Amino acid sequence: MRVVTSDGRATPLAQRLERVALGAAGVIVLLLGFFPISAWLPGGLTDVGYVSRWREWCLGLLICAGGGVVSAILLRRYPAGRLLDGGRQVAAALDKVPARTDTLLGLLCGGAYVAVAWTVFDARPLLIDEIVQVLQARLYATGRLTWPVSVAPEFFSVLHIVDTGPHVYSQFPPGWAAMLSLGSRFGAEWIVGPVCGAVAVTVFARILRATFGREASLTVMAGSLLFGLSPFLVFQFASHMSHGPVLMWILLATLALASVLRPHQMTRSGMALGFVSGLCAGIAFAVRPLDAVAYAVPATGFLAYAARREVATRYAFLAAVVGLAIPVTLVCWVNVHTTGSPTLFGYEVLWGSSHGLGFHQAPWGDAHTPTRGVELLSLYFTRLNTYLFEAPFPSLLPVVGGLFMARGLTRIEQLLMSGTVVHAALYFAYWHDGFYLGPRFVVPWVPVLIILCLRFVRGLRDRRFPVELRAAVPGIMAAALVLTVGTDLPTRIAQYKSGLSSMRTDYSAAARSAGVEGALVFVRESWGAQLVARLWALGVSRPAAAALYSHVDACLLEHGITELERRNVRGGFAERALQPMLADSAKVRATDVSPDTTERMLPGLVYDNECSSHVMADREGYALYPPFLLDNVSGNLYARDFGLRDSVLQRMFPGRASYRVSRAGVDGMAPLVWTQLQSPMR
């Protein structure tokens, strides 16, 4: 039975199916976003701030309700409809040239991203994922795909960098690093994210025009600003993470495809738009493959269905395939020259097949089950309630309202919503809890969430609702904005500004200030970081090393590693020799004697002199190795400090003066201490 007419309009059957689907989605969002399901299930994951947030939201809702009452009283003599008409007139006056308006909205939001990048994140990569992507970008900027293999890899190994074969390279797909490399040529990788954000806002404004009509100037402007200035996206676009940029490519692909699917699209323009859609989808695949696949699968279905009815769309379909093939082929080419296989990515080389989708043992030892999948989805939704708008009430409240109110979805909404559903299903089957600056894995959901919020607000204008309620909406929104800007958002900014403090140091300037240039510098890391690096050096796989470090007492692991090093036992033999140590994994706890709380300790175990000396060294201070690698000015060669074994590297670089660097304390902002080392005897 047909669900659309020949001119693309939905039939009554399609409308009924649409209402059922939206209602079901509303129930799911309500359950996952407003109830602590993750805490009710026996998997162990829980949203620790759930209860305290609801206390704050109850107070915030009361304040917003008060603002609504004041608004309703004030608007008795000045109806809300006249206020909206005035807003529409102002928006229409500003919107005489829509393309220019959309661009200005993008530039406005892009300026906000630049400001946040500098004032909140110091225009530096802070998370290890960001650091590795920037390092790979700088390598790409030199025209190379890989680093040379070191004869002493334990001194240089870094999490998320593959160094287990004939090439050394980042575990991540090449797309985002390639984009960052454009900034690397000017020493400004930080600008790439804000530029992507500005483009995304501009494209989203075009999507809103296609959704609500060109005459809905006020809705387009308000929706674009709500999208572009939502704190969740502001922080993502201001960072060096890839989640914001992949959203930009998804939006570009969706806008182009929606234009192709318009009824009676001209052949030539349809082919061009189809090519653009496929090309953007392919670039999204190069940045974050799973996100791209999630939105490409339903989009392909829409396009294939339309191609059955119109010859012109068939040409567009072929053009989309060609556009898609170009970046996908480049990704395969990079994989061949790094991993050795066109379909094998670096994270699979490093972590094994368990890194992928499915219900199985996760790389870090915990089993990913359907129950855990539900827990993760619950966490994503409950966190979105906070991080999406940082509002004084649950951010998904208007989203749920929009799902129950929405009627007659446009084709572009259908594309985005179906892609979001597939995206959620794929991440239900993915084991990792991606949390940084909010639930980062679900950034691609934001366009749909914003559109649903707009549909909710527009739906409240329906005359079925009491005039007092309609008059209260401006006051509620104004009160929410004041509370967000005045209390909630400053708290979040302060949290982000104070986080990851040790990653913010300008190590290039610090080295020059200390007079250390062109030297071999050993970075004194914590005992725990040294244990992990030594496991890698023994040839223990990354998953096994992560499991051992997370579930074995640090002192027992120290002695086990030392014995294997003494006997020169490596690879699978070393891994099997250490496995019995996991027998007490259920008993170990975070250490209470070392400042590095990632180390594990078996209650009741008394540390001997060797282990105690490592703990005392940690208390004196240590630094983190990876951010030193961002120093591309001083000419220093940075390596991990291994004490007496440092002489091995000193002999390899006899022309360089040797230094050891650490922090004078465990605070991430403690001053750096540079100590010159004696040259080893030959």
590 forms beta bridges with 600
Burial 609-637 (b: 16+ CB within 10 A, else e): eebeebbebbeebbbbbbbbbbbeebebb
Mean pLDDT computed over every residue of the chain? 89
Among the ranges given (276-285, 387-396, 671-680), the one the predictor scored with the smallest mean pLDDT:
671-680
Question: Which H helix or E strand runs over 672?
Answer: strand 672-676
pLDDT in tens, 622-636: 999 999 999 999 999
CA-based nearest residue to 391, from 469, 471, 458, 453? 453
661 three-class SS: strand
pLDDT in tens, 46-66: 888 888 889 999 999 999 999
Contact partners, residue 397, CB within 8 Å, separation at least 6: none
Contact 169, 346 (CB under 8 A): yes
Q: Is pLDDT above 70 for 3?
A: no
Tell me the C-alpha distance between 175 and 124, whole Å. Answer: 20
**DSSP state, residue 484:** I
Q: Where are the domains of the chain?
A: 12-261+270-497, 500-524+621-682, 528-615
pLDDT average, residue stretch 498-521: 92
Of the pLDDT bands very low, low, confident and very high (cuts 50, 70, 90), residue 72 is confident
Q: What percent of the chain has pLDDT over 70?
A: 94
Among the ranges given (111-125, 225-239, 640-654), the one the predictor scored with the smallest mean pLDDT:
640-654
| pLDDT at site 85 | 62
Tell me the C-alpha distance between 514 and 532, whole Å. Answer: 29
147 forms beta bridges with 168
607 three-class SS: coil
H helix intervals, 339-410: 346-351, 370-387, 397-405
Tell me the C-alpha distance between 609 and 618, whole Å. Answer: 14
Q: Is pLDDT above 60 for 608?
A: yes
CA-based nearest residue to 617, from 576, 662, 587, 584? 662
Only one residue has tokens 């006899």, namely 654
Tell me the C-alpha distance between 437 and 210, whole Å. Answer: 31
Contact 239, 437 (CB under 8 A): yes
CA-based nearest residue to 135, from 177, 187, 172, 171? 177
Structure tokens at 325: 């093939």
Structure tokens at 275: 């090519």
Of the pLDDT bands very low, low, confident and very high (cuts 50, 70, 90), residue 607 is very high
How many CB atoms sit inside 10 A of residue 152's CB? 15
How many CB atoms sit inside 10 A of residue 158's CB? 18
pLDDT in tens, 637-675: 999 998 888 888 999 998 899 999 999 988 888 999 999
Contact 496, 594 (CB under 8 A): no
User: Which residue did the predictor score with more confidence, 92 or 497?
Assistant: 497
Structure tokens at 302: 């829409």
Tell me the C-alpha distance between 468 and 177, whole Å. Answer: 53
